[in-house]
Amino acid sequence: MELTRRKILALGSSTFALASLTSLPVFASTTDDEIAALTGGAELGEGAITLTAPEIAENGNTVPIAFDAPGAVEVTLFADGNPVPNVATFKFGPLSASRSASTRIRLATTQDVVAIAKMEDGSFQTAKANVKVTIGGCGG
Amino acid sequence: MISRRDFLQVGMAASAIVGASGFGNWARLAAQQSLTQDQLLEFETFGNVSLIHVTDIHAQLKPIYFREPSENIGVGSNKGAVPHVTGEQFRNLYGIQDGSPSHYALSSGDFSSLAKTYGRVGGLDRVATVIKAIRAERPDAILLDGGDTWHGSYTCFKTAGQDMVNVMNALNPDAMTFHWEFTLGSERVNEIVESLPFAALGQNIFDVEWDEPTELFPPYKMFERGGTKVAVIGQAFPYMPIANPGWMFPEYAFGIRDENMQAMVDEVRAEGAECVVVLSHNGFDVDKKMATVVDGIDVILSGHTHDALPEPVLSGKTIIVPSGSNGKFVSRVDLDIRNGQMLGYRHKLIPIFSDVIEPDAEVSALIDEQRAPYLAEMSEVVGKTDSLLYRRGNFNGTWDDLICDALLSERDAEIALSPGVRWGPSLIPGQDITREDIFNVTSMSYGQAYRTEMTGEFLKAVLEDVADNIFNPDPYYQQGGDMVRTGGLGYRIDIGQPQGSRISNLTLLNSGEAVDPTRSYVVAGWASVNEDTEGPQIWDVVENHIRKLGTVTAKPNNSVEVIGA
């Protein structure tokens, strides 16, 4: 696909707000490598943390993301379709009342947002949410 | 898919729900040629709480014709499940006799001839009669409006929704939720909502800056009825800033937010609600999924996708009641709530046959008062139609074919794009086309008809993107509505493929040549979600085109080849 994001937005101003033309997570392998580096290749459990993200982004430039990870000492967020997938790392001390946070991130295209939590016992947990970036088109 | 028989069995066994709907009688009445208001309203009052649901009226104050779709493809787990069953299959599924009033009201097929027999449907003065009759039997019945009320007609456009507000207020609703209302712009929406004498609900209407609930749109309202507490939680259309121009209401954020829905259900239960009703503008398949994700909802009153079903559909432990569109139906749901539980329900989808149901004189006068200042200009006859003009269908309808033709010729374009909206009444062969009729299928606050260039590659990307909003197998990624309509452009769509692989064989219909991904094409369209879109209003474009034609004759449209459905 030859259209760059800037060209798309320029076209979009007269037609559709097309923010994304592809759902290919081209940076997914980078994300996998970074996760492996973070966990040392340890197995990732699922179910202990919740990741809340919109199914379809209202604005790909500022997508609200929240997680709740009871028992986590460190949570790292990845956006696997972004040029720089590593978004942020949140650290929690023993006195942290809740191991949760919310932030907004920019998503270049339809992609998975991945949370990796390092737990108090040294194990790792993960949660994933697919966020679609779309042009829309109405409806009822 | 849950068949009718399975549904009844599940309903009985799982929660001792007593399902009894008014369905099945109309066919017999038709045989007697004696449909009466009493028969349409016949209902043995049941339990201790009554709900009345209207939704997606789209500002249709007066009776209209409305043809239901002949094509409504379901995907994923909803393939072949209602409401994705149409025409004869629909009638077979529900045991509806061909040619009966329920055939005419609920399904496609033979529409033009049945329209002559059974006449127009809807009209808010008839709806008022039905609501008053239900209140005569159950004075504290809860009237709920599912939204898409302040949009869709000449007078609604000219008064920025005031006509609908005035008439709906006369019906005394108890609560409402929203979609197209926001396209009036947030300033106007806020102004109206502040003056509403009833609750404006939306658990998923958030402040965009802090991603927090808003004060103007509370999540729920508690009602005490028949010795029991009933909570009504609002669910606005989740994808408003995506499907409609977000720049018109930049202070608001939406989304499905089912985790917050669960929190609200838990909160109202903790406050003593014995019955939880969701007034929803999610669309049917989204509601069906939400009912399996969120625990503790008894009833979802379903809007947005304009489906009308003669019986509720059970999803998890929740009954889902879709009530059609354009003022064509009123749903009555009586509930038996005891000891903190819904023990049973009785339901009837009441079709508003306008020649059978007596208009309420007071509301009739109020409607005419709203229309009077605009009557001369909107009644002007622009042309005539030889053919049935309708909108509903996954890929095209004759109204949209006409709109696309208007764009191609009036805007001198190679390709036309028209949004796949589901609102807009039908016209039957022989009818005059008035300015009001054109507004009924085009009116909106962002109706500019743009003219631009797009490459073949970009056009395919647009079609792929819109197709995924409709045919994504996960309902939470569906926005409701139908495929963008194309004029001058044919294509093949393979429904079951993922985004990027559904659309192929893009063809210029004029020459039969394949669309070149690298070439630029002149494209005309309307209803862009972008700010500062330039062009004449679509209703003027369509009016000019019809004036030149004089009489409209619809041609068969085979420009979209559908596979994998």
Kindly report the CATH number assigned to the domain that includes residue B465.
3.90.780.10
Is B373 among the domain residues? no
If asked whether residues B66 and B128 sit together in one domain, one would say yes
Q: What is the pLDDT of residue B3?
A: 38
Q: Average pLDDT for residues B98-111, to the nearest whole number?
A: 95
Q: Are β-strands B381-385 and B275-280 bridged in parallel, bridged antiparallel, or unpaired?
A: unpaired
Residue in A16, A56, A64 closest to B529 by CB: A16
Is B375 among the domain residues? no
Q: Average pLDDT for residues A31-52, to the nearest whole number?
A: 93
Contact A116, A38 (CB under 8 A): yes
If asked whether residues B320 and B410 sit together in one domain, one would say no
Is B203 among the domain residues? yes
If asked whether residues B387 and B359 sit together in one domain, one would say no
Q: What is the pLDDT of residue A110?
A: 93
Domains of chain A plus CATH, in order, are: 25-131 (2.60.40.2470)
Q: What is the pLDDT of residue B33?
A: 56
If asked whether residues B440 and B467 sit together in one domain, one would say yes
Q: State the residue range of the domain holding B509.
A: 380-563
Q: Average pLDDT for residues B462-477, to the nearest whole number?
A: 95
Is B318 among the domain residues? yes
Structural tokens at position B278 = 């969701």
pLDDT bucket at B507, cuts 50 / 70 / 90: very high
Average pLDDT, chain B: 93
Q: Can you tell me the ipTM of this complex?
A: 0.83
CA angle B96, B100, B105 (to 5 degrees): 85
Q: Do B255 and A12 touch (CB under 8 A)?
A: no
Is B525 among the domain residues? yes
CB atoms within 10 A of CB A4: 10
Q: Average pLDDT for residues B233-251, to the nearest whole number?
A: 96
Q: Which pLDDT tens digit goes with each residue over A71-116?
A: 999 999 999 999 999 999 999 999 998 999 999 999 999 999 999 9
Is B285 among the domain residues? yes
Domain end, chosen from B342, B368, B394, is at B368
Q: What is the pLDDT of residue A30?
A: 86
Q: Please give the tally of structural domains in chain B.
A: 2
Contact B236, B202 (CB under 8 A): yes
Q: Do B530 and A136 touch (CB under 8 A)?
A: no
Is B78 among the domain residues? yes
If asked whether residues B446 and B527 sit together in one domain, one would say yes
If asked whether residues B339 and B471 sit together in one domain, one would say no
If asked whether residues B348 and B389 sit together in one domain, one would say no
CA angle B410, B413, B415 (to 5 degrees): 120
- Residue numbers in B near A20 (CB within 8 A): 465
Q: Do A58 and B499 touch (CB under 8 A)?
A: no
Q: Please give the DSSP secondary-structure letter assigned to residue B369.
A: H
If asked whether residues B325 and B441 sit together in one domain, one would say no
Please report, for the domain that includes residue B160, its CATH number. Answer: 3.60.21.10
Domain end, chosen from B368, B397, B414, is at B368
Contact A2, A89 (CB under 8 A): no
Q: Average pLDDT for residues A20-45, to the nearest whole number?
A: 77
pLDDT bucket at A26, cuts 50 / 70 / 90: low
If asked whether residues B354 and B466 sit together in one domain, one would say no
Q: What is the pLDDT of residue A137?
A: 53
Q: How many CA atoms lie within 13 A of B313 on its CB side?
A: 23
Q: Considering only residues B376 and A134, tell me which one the structure prediction assigns the higher pLDDT.
A: B376
Q: Do B452 and A15 touch (CB under 8 A)?
A: yes
Q: Do A140 and B244 touch (CB under 8 A)?
A: no
Interface size, chain A vs chain B, as Cβ–Cβ contacts under 8 Å: 132
pLDDT bucket at A136, cuts 50 / 70 / 90: low
Is B374 among the domain residues? no
Q: At what angle do helices B398-410 and B538-549 cross, to 10 degrees?
A: 90
Domain end, chosen from B323, B346, B368, is at B368
Residue in B255, B422, B527 closest to A140 by CB: B422
pTM, 2 dp: 0.91
- Residue numbers in A near B237 (CB within 8 A): 139-140
Distances (CA, A) of B81 to A47, B87, B395, B471, B481: 31, 14, 19, 14, 17
If asked whether residues B358 and B385 sit together in one domain, one would say no
Structural tokens at position B75 = 């995907």
If asked whether residues B325 and B457 sit together in one domain, one would say no
Q: What is the pLDDT of residue A134?
A: 83
Give the Cα separation of B122 and B18 in Å (integer). Answer: 29
Q: Average pLDDT for residues B309-313, to the nearest whole number?
A: 97
- Residue numbers in A near B413 (CB within 8 A): none
Q: What is the pLDDT of residue B406?
A: 98
**At residue A135, does pLDDT exceed 90?**
no
If asked whether residues B430 and B476 sit together in one domain, one would say yes
pLDDT bucket at A29, cuts 50 / 70 / 90: confident
Q: Do B462 and A16 touch (CB under 8 A)?
A: yes
Q: Which pLDDT tens digit goes with each residue over B521-553?
A: 999 999 999 999 999 999 999 999 999 999 999
